[in-house]
Amino acid sequence: MSAITEPTERRQDPYPSRLPEERWLPRQDKTVWSQWRPDAPLTAQQADQFDRDGFLVLKDLFTPEEVKALMAESAALRGGERTLMEGSVITEPGSDEVRTVFRLPEQSPLFDRLARDRRIAGIARFLLGDEVYIHQSRLNYKPGFTGKEFYWHSDFETWHAEDGMPRMRAVSASLLLTDNDALNGPLMLMPGSHKTFIACAGETPEDNHKSSLKKQEVGVPSHAALTKLAAEHGIHAATGKAGTLVLFDCNTMHGSNGNITPFPRSNAFFVFNAVSNRLEEPFGARKPRPDFLADRSEPKAIDIASGKLV
């Protein structure tokens, strides 16, 4: 019976992907799920901007002392000063340099506190109109000279197809831990692109995550689609000093260039999913990705904390 039911459910999926041909589909979900109110963690203008553009850049939320402590903790995690969980580290293609460290809250009390901070998690809860939990967390590090690019993609396309996230009710928060400028491979986003879902062509290979974490080649739009999106929406580089917070919707098209400057680029990255949007079986893969990429446990609402980190 299940072998018959599962394909029927997928045919009713509002966001089918990994198809024989690429398709453009309208977004079926809200972007901002809460009604703005005076005590909201964002201004009305900021909430409207996130709804319109699919991202928001916020500065001066954290003190210099907090940023300094987070930078030191980041260096310790990637520099071998901490015992890290097996399988949680991804290296750069063709080298042993650290590209990504996953499961930040589980590996660092300071980053656990950051993930629960009202200045981040409180905003995520407001945008999603629900209690939230961490779907995925990681430290991204793009070393000077050799840091490779992250190709254009919608996170939701992968989370939906390979993790089983049913709806577009998740938001990513990226806290810059180094100065990000136009030269050292900052995050680039296409404002307004979150309103269209690009259903990508091609089947999901077995254990696709093993290669996609180093270089994503499946679940990415065609050159023609990216050219059209960029022509319609433009491209914005999310630059800022260390401590800048970049929030973006799960379906916003984004990527980053390689870094050939001497100046490394680093950020702490948290994906907040609505508790009501818990993962199901993958919509476009034979089996789900490992837990370090997508928390499949019973969602537990974050206990949001206030006050300084340090």
CATH number at 33 reads: 2.60.120.620
* Rounded mean pLDDT, 75-82: 82
Predicted local distance difference test score (pLDDT) of residue 250: 98
Residue 5 has pLDDT above 80, yes or no: no
Q: Is residue 257 part of a domain?
A: yes
Domain count, the chain: 1
d(CA 196, CA 26): 5
Q: What is the pLDDT of residues 237-251, one digit of tens each?
A: 999 999 999 999 999
Predicted local distance difference test score (pLDDT) of residue 236: 98
Domain that holds residue 262: 15-277
Let me know: does 80 contact 97? Beta carbons within 8 Å: no
Predicted local distance difference test score (pLDDT) of residue 207: 67
Q: Is residue 47 part of a domain?
A: yes
Give the mean pLDDT of the chain. 91
d(CA 155, CA 299): 20
Predicted local distance difference test score (pLDDT) of residue 216: 63
What is the DSSP code string of 219-262? S---HHHHHHHHHHH--EE--B-TT-EEEEETT--EEE--B-SS
Residue 85 has pLDDT above 90, yes or no: no
Residue 1 has pLDDT above 50, yes or no: no
Predicted local distance difference test score (pLDDT) of residue 208: 72
**Where residue 156 falls among pLDDT bands split at 50, 70, 90?**
very high
Residue 44 has pLDDT above 50, yes or no: yes
Q: What is the pLDDT of residues 173-209, one digit of tens each?
A: 999 999 999 999 899 999 999 999 999 999 998 867 6
Q: What is the pLDDT of residues 205-256, one digit of tens each?
A: 886 765 555 456 788 999 999 999 999 999 999 999 999 999 999 999 999 9
Q: Is residue 113 part of a domain?
A: yes
As a dihedral over the C-alpha atoms of residue 59, residue 179, residue 135, residue 14, rounded to 10 degrees, the angle is 80
* Rounded mean pLDDT, 267-295: 95
